[in-house]
């Protein structure tokens, strides 16, 4: 169905409203039973020919003005309605496009959440860090784990939390510390180094005391 054919009911409604308005004007001018028209006709026939011609000319002018005004109002209303419908169809088309984009992004978002969930499901920081430390023959101390909510501006905040791990590395060499961090991140548990502080030890240039801060994610939100 074309746009203009869909306008037919609207156009008929406008035409009906104009017809009702015309009938109301006619009743006010001529009376319910045209009694005012009868009075005017009697008065008209009492006029001389010149006066009759003047009256007729005036009436023709009034009718012409009324018809032109009615037609102008009719077409302006129809044009306005067509413009509103065009804008409405454009808005619906844009909404349809936005809905498709939203569904695409929502699917990507859910895939991301699922990927994080698969990689972090059941992962506990302490056993994981201790295992990597044993494999790399690294001594770790004072490991603490905490969870924190993501920023409310982050769309992932309703699905997951940030996991923070602090750990000390006493008397460790730089190569061994770097190897530990590389192996930790290679574990595919989305654990990454956030901050690292290294301090020298008195009497040696080969070993250091280090403090590491690590960050990961968990879909197992605390308290919920």
pLDDT in tens, 154-165: 777 777 788 899
Instruction: Look at residues 215, 213, 216, 206 and name the one whose alpha carbon lies nearest to residue 142.
Output: 213
Provide the pLDDT for residue 118.
73
Higher confidence at residue 6 or residue 130?
A: 130
pLDDT at 1: 46
Q: Could you give the CA distance from residue 130 to residue 136 in angstroms, rounded to a whole number?
A: 10
CA distance to 13, 14, 23, 102, 198, per residue, from 20 (Å): 11, 10, 5, 48, 90
Statement: residue 211 has pLDDT above 90: yes
Most trustworthy range by pLDDT among 16-20, 96-100, 136-140, 189-193: 136-140
Residue from 153, 143, 164, 162 nearest 220 by CA:
162
Average pLDDT rounded to a whole number, residues 40-46: 66
The answer on pLDDT for 16 being more than 80 is no
**For the structural domain made of 125-218, what CATH number should be given?**
3.30.70.60
Alpha-carbon separation of residue 161 from 31, 110, 154, 220, 222 (angstroms): 80, 16, 11, 8, 8
pLDDT at 4 over 50: no
pLDDT the model gives residue 101: 78
Cβ 165 vs Cβ 145: under 8 Å: yes
pLDDT average, residue stretch 164-180: 93
Give the CA count within 13 Å in the CB-facing half-sphere of 84.
Answer: 8
pTM above 0.75, yes or no: no
Given a cut of 70, whether residue 48 has pLDDT beyond it is yes
Could you tell me the pLDDT band of residue 210, with boundaries at 50, 70 and 90? very high
Q: Nearest CA to 187 among 142, 123, 115?
A: 123
The ranges assigned to domains in the chain are 3-116, 125-218
pLDDT over 50 at 222, yes or no = yes
Query: Nearest CA to 169 among 121, 215, 135, 210?
Result: 210
């Amino acid at each position: 169905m074309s746009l203009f054919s869909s306008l037919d009911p609207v156009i008929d409604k406008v035409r009906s409203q104009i017809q009702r308005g015309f009938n109301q004007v006619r009743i006010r001018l001529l009376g319910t039973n045209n009694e005012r028209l009868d009075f005017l006709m009697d008065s008209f026939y009492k006029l001389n020919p010149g006066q009759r011609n003047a009256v007729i000319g005036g009436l023709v002018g009034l009718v012409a003005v009324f018809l032109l005004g009615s037609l102008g109002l009719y077409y302006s209303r129809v044009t306005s309605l067509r413009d509103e419908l065009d804008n409405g169809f454009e808005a619906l088309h844009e909404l349809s496009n936005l809905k498709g984009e939203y569904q695409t992004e929502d699917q990507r978002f859910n895939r991301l959440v699922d990927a994080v969930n698969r990689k972090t499901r059941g992962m506990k920081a302490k056993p994981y860090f201790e295992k990597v430390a044993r494999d790399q023959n690294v001594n770790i101390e004072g490991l603490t784990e905490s969870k924190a909510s993501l920023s409310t501006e982050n769309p992932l905040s309703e699905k997951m939390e940030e996991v923070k791990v602090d750990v000390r590395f006493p008397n460790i060499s730089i190569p061994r510390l770097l190897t530990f961090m590389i192996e930790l991140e290679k574990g595919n548990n989305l654990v990454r180094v956030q901050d690292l502080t290294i301090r020298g030890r008195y009497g040696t240039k080969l070993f250091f005391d280090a403090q590491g801060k690590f960050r990961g994610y968990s879909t197992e939100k605390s308290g919920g």
